[in-house]
A and B are shown apart, each in its own frame.
Chain A
Amino acid sequence: MKWDKLLKLAGIVIIVAAVAVLAVKPVFPDVKWLPFTKLIKQGLDLQGGVHVVLEAVDTPEAPVTPDRVKQAMAIIENRVNAYGVAEPLVQQQGDRRIIVELAGIKDPDEAVRNMIKTAYLEFKTEDGTTVLTGRQLKTAIEGKNPQSGVAEVNLEFEPDGAKIFAEVTAANVGKRIFIVLDDQVLQAPQVKEAIPNGKAQISPYESLEEAHNIAILLRSGALPVKVEVMEKRTVGPTLGADSLDKSIKAGIIGLSAVLIFMLVYYRLPGLVADFALIVYALIVLLIFAALHVTMTLPGVAGFLLSLGMAVDANVIIFERFREEMWAGKTLQSAIDAGFKRAFVAIFDSNVTTLIAAAVLYYFGTGPIKGFAVTLSIGILASMFTAITVTRYLLHLVAGSKLVRNLKMYGA
């Protein structure tokens, strides 16, 4: 027995075991990034949430224009932010579509209804009476005051609105007027004087940009175009948690069965491969955490499938290794020859699978993209572990002369 190699082997086993524990168990509660499996983002189907694709549609009063779609997006973003969920996604797709994703929301269906409802802009006095609504507002444009250079929003009312506005401002000099959108107070400017011509300025703003955003919300208090739901997928939080539990359970059972199979069929190399497989799983989970990969249910399936792939690389190597042993090579040279010859096969076969995964990523949406990502990361990591970790370990085991019986190597 060679003690130095044996010590190395023991060291590696201890390190991997430590990393494995750190990956899943909260050993150091103070360290934010541990256990790092917690950093892997869960998709909507695992933590519950809503994915909705909205499309602006033409109506006689309001045909779809790029500007209107932009406005609608700003309004929807504003409404979505009210839910206070982490990292809401509001994204334009193509000319007319808006994709919204909200994770971990309690009543996803309600959120969707809120997104597409026609918003309501109101002007209220201090005593809470609604004096004007968005319908009576003609325009709201940001600008800079020509004298002071301060950013402001210029309002202009429709004739009937202008008349009411004149009366209201006259009656409320020194008081505030509340500008309320969807029951939220947007602005509460103070009335300096009666405004008879239906034109008013709200100021000051920090920047022209801020004024611009407010102007958008004001002039488009109601959605400027009709928005329809093209696609909606909601998952309740219980179903999501249930799916996650089940996948973890299925994963543990599947992985254990594979580990046992490898051990029984390939004996000592099988044990090495099992160890490499655990290293592989840890590497993949680390990559997921580092790249902020979003884990979806199909993504879990992709990850588990890539475990099968990782086993395959080892199987190819061991079959080659056995052949070399039968051909009468020594243990160490059989390992080297086995790896060398197996590499081409592993490389070519994995590249073709990567091609399929890349196509899936390009054409897929949502969870399917997640599946493609986990499968691809898994394939790359499996190639890496099979040709580095397994090889190094196998040499170490053989070199340590811990096991001399060639039968244990499957010969």
Chain B
Amino acid sequence: MMLRDRKPFHFIRPRKIWYTLSILIIIPGIISLFIQGLNLGIDFKGGSLLDLKFNQPTAVEQVRGVLEEFGLEGASIQRSGETDFLVRTRELSEDENLNIIQSFDQKLGGVTVQRSERVGPVIGRELIRNALLALGAASVLIVVYVAWRFEFKQGIAAIIALLHDTLVVLGVFSIFQIEVDSSFVAAVLTIIGYSINDTIVIFDRIRENMLNRKKGENLEDIINNSLWQTLARSINTVLTVLIVLAALFLFGGATIHNMVLALLVGITSGAYSSIFNASPIWYDLKRMENRRKPMRARA
């Protein structure tokens, strides 16, 4: 028993280190978000996308050559494999689309359209609006639930941790300019769902330990013990989810690649923030409350 009680380190006391670590990770991302923003896909800004498979090995220059005939010098051409190309252009009408595909087919020895997408600018604006509404609604509902089942300050601490995870994912996607599409919104909301899940399991343990509080045991140590007690679960859960995600990332289809990447980054961040941010922040919020109370009593 004694051996188990000796913890290698305290989770709450050096919390400034954890906060600093988080801030160090987030700040480059925020700077990048301001400078270069996100690499928004056609889902957000509108445009057309063609996923083409040629019958024979084809060079980027050949594809560009055909596109230039249609005045599409600005098209982005991405090659994946000998014969596979992703072409992104401004929004094309159905007739333009048909002409371009026919031209590819005739000039480059046959082509199959694997995927063809066209998104108008209005749809993109609606998507951004819905994404922000969804993030807002999810945050509010989660705070309300946590406040009801636990306490309001824990709700606030949880939301700060979620904001942390969202910023980490946005930052990584901004720094590396990875394309963001509508499934990214789903990924962020799932990350929020998982991260809050981790946080709640820890809060649940704190809630239980507070009820069985021994005399003289301070909040700092109760939280620390709770974190240690739930640590194995926190690590194992994240590991299993990461195993599944890694399999999806390595072997799953290309279309959900970016979504899975966002989940990988976000769920790792969520595991960190649940342990190193949510509970310490709640502790700080509690301390602020205790410090303010005597002041009020004097007034």
Where the two chains meet, the residues of A that have a C-beta atom closer than 8 Å to any C-beta of B are 45, 53, 55, 108-109, 112-113, 116, 228-236, 238-239, 242-243, 246-247, 249-251, 253-255, 257-258, 261-262, 265, 297-298, 300-302, 304-305, 307-309, 311-312, 315-316, 319, 323, 326, 341, 344-345, 348-353, 355-357, 359-360, 362-365, 367-368, 371-372, 375
Set of chain B residues within 8 Å of A359, measured between Cβ atoms: 134, 137-138, 141, 189
Set of chain A residues within 8 Å of B1, measured between Cβ atoms: 326
Set of chain B residues within 8 Å of A231, measured between Cβ atoms: 118-120, 123
Among residues 146 to 202 in chain B, which have CB atoms less than 8 Å away from a CB atom of chain A?
146, 149, 182-183, 185-186, 189-190, 192-194, 196-198, 200-201
Bound Cα distance from A307 to B98, whole angstroms: 42
Q: Is the Cβ of A367 less than 8 Å from the Cβ of B94?
A: no
Contact of B243 among A230, A258, A302 (CB under 8 A): A258
Contact of A349 among B112, B123, B197 (CB under 8 A): B197
Set of chain B residues within 8 Å of A116, measured between Cβ atoms: 94
Q: Is the Cβ of B200 less than 8 Å from the Cβ of A348?
A: yes
Contact of A239 among B115, B186, B189 (CB under 8 A): B115
Bound Cα distance from A238 to B192, whole angstroms: 34
Kindly state the interface size class of chain B when it binds its partner.
Answer: 35 or more
Q: Is the Cβ of B190 less than 8 Å from the Cβ of A356?
A: yes
Q: Is the Cβ of B182 less than 8 Å from the Cβ of A250?
A: no
Q: Is the Cβ of B189 less than 8 Å from the Cβ of A249?
A: no
Tell me whether B222 is interfacial, beta carbon within 8 Å: no
Tell me whether B24 is interfacial, beta carbon within 8 Å: no
Bound Cα distance from A261 to B233, whole angstroms: 13
Tell me whether B259 is interfacial, beta carbon within 8 Å: yes
Q: A304 with B186: in contact, given A231-B119, A345-B200, A349-B201 (CB under 8 Å)?
A: no
Interface membership of chain B positions 96-128, coded 1 if the CB is closer than 8 angstroms to chain A and 0 otherwise: 011001000000000011111111101100000
Contact of B247 among A232, A253, A360, A362 (CB under 8 A): A253
Q: A311 with B237: in contact, given A250-B248, A304-B244, A316-B201 (CB under 8 Å)?
A: yes
Interface membership of chain B positions 245-275, coded 1 if the CB is closer than 8 angstroms to chain A and 0 otherwise: 1111011110110011001000000000000
For B113, B192, B255, the residue with the greatest tally of chain A CB atoms inside 10 Å of its CB is B255
Interface secondary structure of B, over-half rule: helix
For B137, B208, B229, the residue with the greatest tally of chain A CB atoms inside 10 Å of its CB is B137
Set of chain B residues within 8 Å of A234, measured between Cβ atoms: 113, 115-117
Q: Is the Cβ of A247 less than 8 Å from the Cβ of B253?
A: yes
Q: Is the Cβ of B118 less than 8 Å from the Cβ of A349?
A: no
Q: How many A-B residue pairs have CB under 8 A?
A: 219
Between A and B, 28 residue pairs with Cβ closer than 8 Å are A55-B122, A109-B98, A229-B118, A232-B118, A239-B114, A251-B247, A254-B244, A254-B247, A261-B243, A301-B256, A304-B244, A312-B233, A348-B200, A349-B197, A352-B142, A352-B145, A352-B200, A353-B193, A353-B194, A355-B193, A356-B193, A360-B138, A360-B189, A364-B130, A364-B186, A371-B186, A371-B190, A375-B190
Q: Which 6 A-B pairs have the closest CB atoms?
A: A254-B247, A356-B193, A308-B241, A243-B253, A353-B193, A250-B251
Q: Is the Cβ of A351 less than 8 Å from the Cβ of B247?
A: no
Tell me whether B236 is interfacial, beta carbon within 8 Å: yes
Set of chain A residues within 8 Å of B60, measured between Cβ atoms: none
Bound Cα distance from A298 to B240, whole angstroms: 19
Report the minimal beta-carbon distance from A387 to chain B, rounded to whole angstroms: 15
Set of chain B residues within 8 Å of A364, measured between Cβ atoms: 130, 134, 185-186
Q: Is the Cβ of A360 less than 8 Å from the Cβ of B186?
A: yes
Q: Is the Cβ of B183 less than 8 Å from the Cβ of A363?
A: no
Set of chain B residues within 8 Å of A375, measured between Cβ atoms: 190, 193
Tell me whether B204 is interfacial, beta carbon within 8 Å: yes
Tell me whether B205 is interfacial, beta carbon within 8 Å: yes
Tell me whether B295 is interfacial, beta carbon within 8 Å: no
Set of chain A residues within 8 Å of B245, measured between Cβ atoms: 254, 305
Q: Is the Cβ of A316 less than 8 Å from the Cβ of B233?
A: yes
For B244, B251, B255, the residue with the greatest tally of chain A CB atoms inside 10 Å of its CB is B244
Set of chain A residues within 8 Å of B230, measured between Cβ atoms: 319
Interface membership of chain B positions 70-92, coded 1 if the CB is closer than 8 angstroms to chain A and 0 otherwise: 00000000000000000000000
For B118, B130, B193, the residue with the greatest tally of chain A CB atoms inside 10 Å of its CB is B193
Set of chain B residues within 8 Å of A238, measured between Cβ atoms: 53, 112, 114
Q: Is the Cβ of B253 less than 8 Å from the Cβ of A355?
A: no
Set of chain A residues within 8 Å of B256, measured between Cβ atoms: 297-298, 301
